[in-house]
Structure 1
Amino acid sequence: MVLGFFKGMSFPISSVAVVNSVIFGTYSNSLLLLSSMSHQERKGQPPNYGHIFVAGSISGFVQAYCLAPFDLIKVRLQNQTEPRSRPGVAPPRYSGPLHCARTILREEGPCGLFRGAWALVLRDTPTMGLYFLTYEGLSWWLTSDSKEPGSATMLVAGGFAGIMSWTAATPLDVVKSRMQMDGLKQREYRGLLDCIVSSARQEGPCVFFRGLTLNSVRAFPVNAVTFFSYEHLLRFLS
């Protein structure tokens, strides 16, 4: 059914505002702090790309721990293959996000909600730095003769920032998803490194780039709109 493509959607929708506020709030404040400490903030000068990367990496590290339980529940719900309740057919393991969270807490303990969190941290810390670095760099390059980036620049820079970050993130995203699904029936991986080695041995190095094309196709419009909304909202509020 068509509804199968929307499995696990309700939880990300309810949490996306919190996650994005953590990402952009942490990034903005970290960049402001780094700029004030170096006393190098000057109008008309190129941004300090080192500060941008560090501030973005900090935001990735912080949001990874906020995102971990939400992401785990989303992945578990999306990977349910059982049909909805029918006569004579076993019901799905999880009836919804709250039931999924309660089941994980009961069967795997509080730490179960953070399964795959280290892979998420290793994925998001450098890639969020690369994410903001790509956006700020393209924005400066496309608007070096004007004061502020225009709407078209925001969309293009945001879209390419999304593609760049997902290109770097996909290998660890594959590992993260496998570790999050591990433990439903029996533990297959002893840890992060074991998951990487086992996956490469069984399916080859190409397994770490599985889903990259789809991630890139999705990343361009999503992140273009994200930065467009972020920039215009900042201008509106100021």
Structure 2
Amino acid sequence: MTASSTEVDAVEEIDYEGLGASTPLHINMIAGALAGVSEHAVMFPVDVVRTRMQVLAAAPAATYSGVAEAFSRISTAEGARALWRGVTSVILGAGPAHALYFGTYEAVKELTGGNNEGHQFASTAFAGASATIVSDAFMNPFDVIKQRMQMHGTVHRSVFRCASTVYQQEGLRAFYVSYPTTLTMTVPFTAVQFSVYEWAKKVLNPSDNYSPLAHAIAGGFSGAVGAAVTNPLDVAKTLLQTRGTSTDATIRNASGMFEAFRIIKQREGMKGFARGLAPRVLTYMPSNALCWLSYEGFRFFLNERNKAL
């Protein structure tokens, strides 16, 4: 290798290593928005299956024994379009929410020393938790609408009509009744995810140069770990977000996370908290891989273009 090519390689690695600290906030936010839309849109059909498998007291026609069966029955009985119902809500919410998410993450990580040498677990965990508090405050209503439209037998075909109906029948509280549970789930999920991602990225790619494969593997692994750890909270969140459609009076009047836990434990025991585990992991592993691959890629190329202007 010639001296000039060595110098070029060194410059490329330094450029990427300094990306977190030197990249403008607006580039982090644009990259995050693009990554968020890519992540959620691609994996949306699996998310539909997860929602349906987590709903308690579902009609026999909406009870599935596995992921493959759920896909087959939904496609056959309702058509392939049913697997995409509610995706508009995700697209409308995911872009801005992920812009806030990654913008907050990078800013807090830099302020708390997360870009320093070594594995800065405390900094990345705190930055991830801060990011999810901000983004979930924006995204929670869109998530409620999405899950209402994903359910078996839903009458909702329009995001705006669904939002209007929920507001008229249940009030503004319906959009945020699950927010404390969402935070209780997503704060540890994000802390675990970011910590595992940063660790795995440094193990797989110690030189910290731009490596799409390393970002994808680290992202997929961190997503699977985070999803498995927080699945019980996701079951409780689904119960709260879909309670308004239930014919079960106890579920319909559930007012918070602890009551949701009590209902799940009472009805199904500890196994109830594993509802939807397989599709949740199957959703988060590839979607997280795609999210981090997209985010790191968009951020790298946007930053390079910005410096060239």
TM-score (normalised: structure 1): 0.87
CA distance in 2, matches of 1:149, 1:207: 42
Determine if the alignment matches structure 1 residue 105 to structure 2 residue 183. Answer: no
| From 196, 204, 228, the counterpart of 1:142 | 204
| Structure 2 unmatched runs, 5+ | 1-78, 304-309
Among 80, 86, 94, which residue is 1:8 paired with?
A: 86
Q: Tell me: CA distance 1:3–1:147, structure 2 relative to 1, closer, same or farther (3 Å).
A: closer
Residue 225 to residue 21, structure 1, CA distance change in 2 (3 Å): same
Instruction: Quote how far apart the aligned CAs of 1:116 are.
Output: 1.1
- Which residue does 1:132 correspond to in 2? 194
Deviations 1:198-236 (A, max 9, x none): 211110111111111111122222111111111122222
In the other structure, the counterpart of 1:167 is 228
Using the alignment, how far apart are the partners of 1:41 and 1:182 within structure 2?
Answer: 42
Residues 1:181 and 2:242 aligned together: yes
Residue-by-residue CA offset, 1:23-68 (whole Å, 9 max, x unaligned): 1111111101112xxxx854xx313111001110111121221111
Do the aligned residues in 1 keep the contact of 2:93 with 2:138 (CA within 8 Å)? no
Q: Which residue of 1 aligns with 2:287?
A: 222
Match of 1:62 in 2: 134
Give the 3 Å change call, closer, same or farther, for CA 149–77 of structure 1 in structure 2: same
2:260 is the alignment partner of 1:199: no
Aligned to 1:25: 103
- The one-letter amino acid of 1:234's match is R
2:98 and 2:256 mapped to 1: Cα distance? 29
Write out per-residue CA displacement over residues 90-129 of structure 1, whole angstroms, 9 at most, x where no aligned residue.
xx2x231101111121122222221211111111111111
The amino acid of 1:101's aligned partner reads A
Deviation at 1:79, TM superposition (A): 1.1
- Within 5 Å, which residues of 2 pair with 1:105-124? 105-124=167-186
CA distance in 1, matches of 2:282, 2:189: 17
Say whether the 8 Å CA contact 2:181–2:256 is kept in structure 1. Answer: no
Given that residues 19 and 67 in structure 1 are in contact (C-alpha distance below 8 angstroms), is that contact kept between their aligned partners in structure 2?
Answer: yes
> In the alignment, what sits opposite 1:153?
214
How far, CA to CA, are the matches of 2:302 and 2:171 in structure 1? 42
Q: Work out the CA distance in 2 between the residues paired with 1:141 and 1:173.
A: 30
- Residue 208 of structure 2 is aligned to residue 208 of structure 1: no
AA partner of residue 57 (structure 1): A
CA shift at 1:80, angstroms? 4.2
In 1, distance between residues paired with 2:287 and 2:144? 21
Identity of aligned residues (%): 25
Structure 1 portions without partners, runs of 5+: 83-91
Q: What letter is aligned with 1:148?
A: N
Q: Distance in 2 between matches of 1:233 and 1:80?
A: 36
Cα distance in 2, alignment partners of residues 218 and 181 from structure 1: 20
Conserved 8 A contact 1:54-1:129: yes
CA contact (8 A) 1:139 1:149 kept: no
Cα distance in structure 2, aligned partners of 1:149 and 1:50: 24
Separation in 2, partners of 1:147, 1:128: 22
User: Are positions 1:46 and 2:118 aligned together?
Assistant: yes
Q: Report the Cα offset of residue 137 of structure 1.
A: 0.4
What is the rounded CA distance, in whole Å, between the counterparts of 1:78 and 1:235 in structure 2? 35
- Once residues 41 and 165 of structure 1 are traced to their aligned partners in structure 2, the CA distance between those partners, rounded to angstroms, is 22
Aligned equivalents of 2:135, 2:141: Cα separation in 1: 11
Query: 2:85·2:149 contact (CA, 8 Å) conserved in 1?
Result: yes
Runs of 4+ in 1 over 3 A off after TM superposition: none
Verify the 8 A CA contact 2:185 2:234 in the aligned structure 1: yes
Distance 1:169 1:201 in 2: 20
The Cα of 1:3 is off from its aligned counterpart by 1.5
Alignment correspondent of 2:68: none
Q: Which amino acid aligns with 1:71?
A: D
